[in-house]
Structure 1
Amino acid sequence: MGDVVRAPWNGYFVTGFDACSEVLRGRNWLAPDFAWQERQDDTGRWDAIATREMTKTLSRLNAPAHTCQRRTLGNLFDRSTIDRLTPVVEAHVDRLLDELADKLQWGDADLVSTVSEQLPISTIGSWLGIPPEDHPHILEITHNQVHAQELLPTKSQLAVSAEATVRLRAYFTGLVAQRRAAPADDVLTGWIHTWDGLEPDREAADEILYRLTMFVTIASLETTATLLSAMVGLLLGEPGRWGWLREHPEHVDAAVDEVLRYDPPIHINSRIAAEDTVLAGVPIAKDSMVHVMYGAANHDPRRNENPDAFDVLRGGSHLTFGGGVHYCLGAALARLEARTLLTALLERFPALRVCAPPSYASRMVFRRVTSMGVAI
């Protein structure tokens, strides 16, 4: 249908790899922030509590606010941070696979609830100092909150998201307050020191700290969990593929990248035209919304030959982590978790198989895997 396809509303789907890359990296494409929302005729669409709360986070900010907050975070998961986190992730993987092994002794097990969802919250939780007993609570409200980030959320979905948003705010403002009262040698304490130096108003600083901590947490959960589940499902989907990768562990990183290309955890991201422009030959008026289709871009045959084939040795490219100023903060961490889990699964469960195919939540943006049965 073309690289840019008119949507049934006032927007455009962007499907081609190069066109999607241009939108993600171009300076004349902006996130749909409050300023843009206030210029729309249907402002009521953006008044939902959860929508407004997410508009305050990094993913919806533009310069200069985005630049300021991003700089305070630095390169969150640089080489030294990943090196420090590696033994932590390995310990979490060992613990979770022990639990999986115990369940598999008695039959099949749900990989999602046992491993895929637990590894990201265990990792980010230990990094930020979120107590393990709070992990189930964080997972529950994160699952409910993301409805607000859908393309066309229903009123009932927005109501669920509104309740979850209130609970997220209560939890993470409480976490910031606790860390102020009892500083520790952790990331959040460092952020507190940074923002106290940048923002003389303590209340304003705490508001920014709440949003940063909340966003970094929820952004790392469902996306990584879906990556982990899709990775196992795809690699077990063809006879012999699991065994081959076990014999060739040097290709584990390539396998993870092919999963990211083939079935990205997020399928849609939206941007706004900062001015009248032309995208892939299609005139786009200022303030028009375009929807970057990650899955379609990754399957563009002009970029990846025979794109619908899952090929670990492809050596192709993808846009799954986005691009430009909004490139995913946690890309390196997601890769670390996927690589560590896959390496351990291949070693410990050579006969692993899928006995119940993955079930997906009914969503367009976040491809959450809700369950997937495995057995040996």
Structure 2
Amino acid sequence: METAVSPPPDRRFAVSLFSRLRTAKGQANPFPIYAELRARGPVVAAPWGGHLVTGFDLCDRVLRSRDWLEPDARWREQQGDGTRWTAPSSREMSRTLPALNPPEHTWVRRSAGMFDRTSLQEISGTVGRTTTRLLDTLGERLRDGEADFNALVSEELPIATIGYWLGLPTADFPRLRELTHDQVFTQELLPSASQLATSDAATAELRAYFMELVRHRRAHPGEDPVSRWIATWDALESDQDKADEAVYFLALFVLLAALETTSTLLSTMTLLLLEHPRQWDWLTVHPDLVPAAVEESLRYDPPTHVISRVASQDCALGGVEIRKDEMVHLMVGAAHRDPARHEEPELFNLHRKPAHLAFSGGIHYCLGAPLARLEAQTLLRQLVGRFPGLTLVRRPAWAPRVAFRRPLNLDVALI
């Protein structure tokens, strides 16, 4: 057991830091601010209580340890009425797989049974064909000048992939994508009241959509994942309503996880390579480095910059005393630039040995990681082969977020 050897740092410093992170400039490039935070030590007091963790090894240790828990339904209820944790959207998210702790997490994760090698082989053809179609459209737009890669490709590939896998009508894709962007605010680090209201409304609409989907699949079962989940949960739960709700939470989790962060990965990966033309040029000649490019993108600017955990007991972390049920925010975006872990961490380097926490770790390692990698690698292989002259027109604008990165555009052209 680690011993606390120093008092928690002054919280006033972090107040200033987060004020800057929430500006357009801070969201476009938070990394200089992270460097200031990291310079204060691997564990820094958060303005609203709890602590911020910036050291890579400490973040990795917390994610792998069963002594650190998800902020589950029990923990959220303890925060009291009127807090962001008891908003309807937050309560709903507390029942999805990422917010569960063992033993419930264990059997829900097992029931999901998704994205194994067989499933990925089935999906890979869809990903390849969809990528080709989307890049055909991109090519047509580029012949007329510049095009928004984010809107034409990054936003379309994940919803087409997961929508096909779940057997959803293509006409529903645009609305589901919009709802996902709105829903994610409840998972943000510091959501405003208006953002929470937006998330609450989106969550309610998503619940109605997927509960109707479950009811339809129960009446008309097929070979799709939702039908398989219904059969699985009927064997686990005698109450049909509870079984249907469990399937709904799996479908909701899959949609939210598959769309938001993967879209960001696809755009950020492309942005980083175009901002580093020597690396882009090297990749066009050496496409065998595509997997390495995806992993370095995940390290350099991951889709999720913050992962939160709560202490299961009184403990010490990085020499700082942490009380039971106190929250720590793992600043993954900062930890990925920790010089104690990576040599020259500010350098975007395709030849670096992969080491990142973009998919979390431990028992909560992202179930969708293989699918996200499949989409990113498929896209990048086709992109460098078909558009070696792709260039960045302007830097993108970013959504008003701290934890969940999201570029709003990615304007490109051909040279």
> Would the TM-score normalized by the shorter structure come out above 0.5?
yes
Structural mapping, 1:287-366, within 5 Å: 287-366=325-404
RMSD of the TM alignment (CA)?
1.1
Structure 1 residues 23, 375: CA separation in 2 closer, same or farther (over 3 Å shift)?
Answer: same
Percent of residue pairs bearing the same amino acid type: 54
Query: Deviations for 1:301-345, whole angstroms, at most 9, x for unmatched residues?
Result: 111110011000111311110001111010010000000000001
Structural mapping, 1:199-278, within 5 Å: 199-278=237-316
2: CA distance, partners of 1:310 / 1:375: 22
> Could you tell me whether the CA contact under 8 Å between 2:279 and 2:350 is conserved in 1?
no
2:108 corresponds to: 69
> Could you tell me whether the CA contact under 8 Å between 1:277 and 1:284 is conserved in 2?
yes
Structure 2: give runs of 5+ residues left out of the alignment: 1-39
2: CA distance, partners of 1:267 / 1:182: 41
In the TM superposition, residue 22 of structure 1 has moved relative to its aligned partner by 1.1
Corresponding residue to 2:57 among 2, 13, 18: 18
2:72 corresponds to: 33
State yes or no: 1:51 paired with 2:90. yes
2: CA distance, partners of 1:168 / 1:59: 17
2: CA distance, partners of 1:92 / 1:107: 23
1: CA distance, partners of 2:78 / 2:207: 27
1: CA distance, partners of 2:146 / 2:385: 19
Query: What TM-score does the superposition give when structure 1 sets the normalisation length?
Result: 0.98
2: CA distance, partners of 1:73 / 1:169: 18
> Could you tell me whether the CA contact under 8 Å between 2:165 and 2:224 is conserved in 1?
yes
State yes or no: 1:370 paired with 2:408. yes
In the TM superposition, residue 113 of structure 1 has moved relative to its aligned partner by 0.8
2:201 corresponds to: 163
Matched pairs, number: 375
In the TM superposition, residue 239 of structure 1 has moved relative to its aligned partner by 2.8
- For the residue of structure 1 that corresponds to 2:121, the secondary structure is helix
- For the residue of structure 2 that corresponds to 1:369, the secondary structure is coil
In the TM superposition, residue 241 of structure 1 has moved relative to its aligned partner by 2.3
Structure 1: give runs of 5+ residues left out of the alignment: none
Q: Which amino acid aligns with 1:182?
A: H
> Could you tell me whether the CA contact under 8 Å between 1:267 and 1:293 is conserved in 2?
yes
Corresponding residue to 1:114 among 137, 152, 161: 152
In the TM superposition, residue 42 of structure 1 has moved relative to its aligned partner by 6.3
> Could you tell me whether the CA contact under 8 Å between 2:90 and 2:186 is conserved in 1?
yes
> Could you tell me whether the CA contact under 8 Å between 1:48 and 1:162 is conserved in 2?
yes
Q: Which amino acid aligns with 1:330?
A: G
Query: Deviations for 1:118-139, whole angstroms, at most 9, x for unmatched residues?
Result: 0000001111111111100100
> Could you tell me whether the CA contact under 8 Å between 1:304 and 1:316 is conserved in 2?
no
1: CA distance, partners of 2:226 / 2:64: 29
In the TM superposition, residue 40 of structure 1 has moved relative to its aligned partner by 3.1
Structure 1 residues 248, 42: CA separation in 2 closer, same or farther (over 3 Å shift)?
Answer: same
1: CA distance, partners of 2:202 / 2:41: 38
In the TM superposition, residue 280 of structure 1 has moved relative to its aligned partner by 1.5
In the TM superposition, residue 214 of structure 1 has moved relative to its aligned partner by 0.8
- For the residue of structure 1 that corresponds to 2:395, the secondary structure is strand
2: CA distance, partners of 1:138 / 1:326: 25
In the TM superposition, residue 98 of structure 1 has moved relative to its aligned partner by 0.8
Query: Deviations for 1:214-251, whole angstroms, at most 9, x for unmatched residues?
Result: 11111111100110001111111123322210110111
Structure 1 residues 364, 142: CA separation in 2 closer, same or farther (over 3 Å shift)?
Answer: same
1: CA distance, partners of 2:342 / 2:83: 41
Structure 1 residues 154, 83: CA separation in 2 closer, same or farther (over 3 Å shift)?
Answer: same
Q: Which amino acid aligns with 1:45?
A: R
In the TM superposition, residue 10 of structure 1 has moved relative to its aligned partner by 1.5
2: CA distance, partners of 1:106 / 1:346: 20
- For the residue of structure 2 that corresponds to 1:229, the secondary structure is helix
